[in-house]
Amino acid sequence: MFADLAPSYDLCNALISFGQHLRWKRWLVELSQAGPGHRVLDCACGTGDIAFAFARAVGASGEVVGTDYCAEMLEQGIKRSAGMHVAVVFETADVTQLPYASASFDVASIGFGLRNVSDSRQALREMARVVKPGGRVMILETGQPQGAFMKPAFWFYSRCIVPLIGGFCSGNFQAYHYLHRSSRDYPWGNDFEKLARSAGCFSSIEQIRLASGAAYIYRAVVS
Ligand SMILES: C[S@@+](CC[C@H](N)C(=O)[O-])C[C@H]1O[C@@H](n2cnc3c(N)ncnc32)[C@H](O)[C@@H]1O
């Protein structure tokens, strides 16, 4: 599915989130406290938005590795990096089996990826394993706005409008129906925190609600 979406992925994201997703990704980087000289791993990096934002934060003395298991998504990232003055190394890797040494990164992140992984807990354990104790695992994931107006309005947007916009933009309507279903069924807020705690590798987890709960950033500190 992601191989098929890769060429139109960035445009579809911009349209369905009204450009908000880039702001959320920059915020994730800020909250991670990544700074000059840090080593960062962005998992399920897709076309590289988060990896590029981290590269600007860590500067020339740092290093950012962007990984995904879909070669077509990585290809888009590599193409984009040619026009940028930031260095990201793109590598193929499954987030549930990362080919990196333990405690070798300051920060690991995953944006809108965990929901698509068959075993979220295993992915979180792997990300925590490669991060140094005290380092951060940053997660950006979908949520479900609540409230008398927002809940039905968001449901209608996500169930009916997003598949139309995404479908026309990418030619793959099924993928954007999947986006609605997978977001609806995935834990968010306190339930996600519970899931992350059950991975057994974090000393603290904080959640930051975005756009009335349409998305969340979670900051987990590795124990
Ligand atoms: C919705 S995209 C998110 C891409 C990017 N992080 C972003 O925020 O724009 C989800 C990505 O997760 C990747 N993915 C899904 N399961 C994966 C796994 N087990 N290991 C690595 N990447 C995975 C897909 O290939 C896809 O690129």
pTM of the model: 0.96
Structure token digits, residue 113: 């990826």
Q: Which of 45, 139, 217 to mutate to test the pocket of ligand 1 (most atoms within 8 A of CB)?
A: 45
Any residues with Cβ below 6 Å from ligand 1, and which?
Answer: 2, 44-46, 49-50, 68-70, 73, 94-96, 111-113, 116-117
- Check: CB of residue 211 under 8 Å from CB of residue 141: no
Distance CA 149, CA 170 (A): 30
Residues with pLDDT less than 70, the chain: none
Q: How remote is the CA of residue 183 from the centroid of ligand 1, in Å?
A: 14
Say what the pLDDT of residue 87 is. Answer: 86
- Check: CB of residue 5 under 8 Å from CB of residue 172: yes
Q: What percent of the chain is modeled with pLDDT above 90?
A: 97
Q: How remote is the CA of residue 174 from the centroid of ligand 1, in Å?
A: 17
Say what the pLDDT of residue 79 is. Answer: 94
Between helix 20-32 and helix 9-16 the angle, nearest 10°, is 100
Say what the pLDDT of residue 174 is. Answer: 95
Say what the pLDDT of residue 86 is. Answer: 83
Say what the pLDDT of residue 84 is. Answer: 84
Say what the pLDDT of residue 73 is. Answer: 97
Between helix 9-16 and helix 162-170 the angle, nearest 10°, is 160
Q: Whose CA is nearest to atom 25 of ligand 1?
A: 70
